[in-house]
A and B are shown apart, each in its own frame.
Chain A
Amino acid sequence: MVPASYYLLLSAVLFGLGVVAFVFKRNVITMFMAIELMLNAVNLAFVTFSRQLGTLDGQVFVLFVIVVAAAEAAVGLAIVMLIARNRQSLNVERVDLLKL
């Protein structure tokens, strides 16, 4: 039996690594992927607690998180494509003024 704290530790580590990736990477798409990594880490915590408490609520919530992440990825990547088209660069440091 794997203790629940091991899964929670893994979830915390993945979340921390996601934060590090979000802060340190300069490419917009990679920063987006760091957000997805954070969401995944949270999903793991939800499933662990769902198993701990013996109900299925945690798993239903994971479904909702996945759906919202999908919708967010779709719109976010459309925005990324517009940014790339308008500024010819995917570097966030070049997207710091509203003026083109």
Chain B
Amino acid sequence: MSAALFFFFVLAAVAVLGAVSLILQRHPIHSALSLILVMVALAGCYLLQGAEFIAAVQIIVYGGAIMVLFVFVIMLLNAGEEERTNFSRMARYAGLPVAIFLLIELAYWATRSAPAAQVAEMPVGPAQTRGISLMLFREFVLPFELTSVLILVAILGAVVLAKRES
């Protein structure tokens, strides 16, 4: 087994474990920590595939900003452990098999439709960041500008929504 395959299995195991832990934990803060673990494992997967810039951006933005926001909100709202609810027993008996079926179906189509294992040349190293930024400012310049407007709108929305009525 090559080193890359070994690392992939470790990272995949960590990611799946984190996702399962997100479901099974009762307290939202533990679910948040599990999600951070999943994100770090996925950043490792990106690194393994050679997408180093995206791996760094994933940790900086997703793991270091978005999840910090989640953790802050959980702390501020003093969220407690989940209460056990009595309704939705139907969901437990019918929902879980449907979810597992969906999972198996997705996995089947994902592995079947992947083209044969040939990897084309992708720029690595400094050329990769340069390539991404060139693409961002040439072909994708309109979505880029739109996302900046989107972020501005999100900031304004969050500020207006979270203000207390005074």
Contact = CB atoms under 8 A, between A and B. Distances in A.
Contacts of A60: 132, 135-136, 140
A75 B161 contact: yes
B114 A4 contact: yes
Q: How large is the interface on A (under 10, 10 to 19, 20 to 34, 35 or more residues)?
A: 35 or more
Main secondary structure of the interface of A (DSSP, over half): helix
Nearest to B11: A10
A78 B53 contact: no
Interface in B40-54: 42, 45-46, 48-51, 53-54
A12 B110 contact: yes
Given A63-B54, A73-B66, A93-B87, 13 more contacts: A1-B4, A3-B114, A17-B23, A40-B38, A52-B119, A52-B120, A62-B54, A67-B150, A69-B66, A70-B65, A73-B70, A74-B69, A82-B162
Interface of A: 1-21, 23-27, 29-30, 32-34, 36-37, 40, 43-45, 47-48, 50-57, 59-60, 62-64, 66-75, 77-82, 84, 90-91, 93
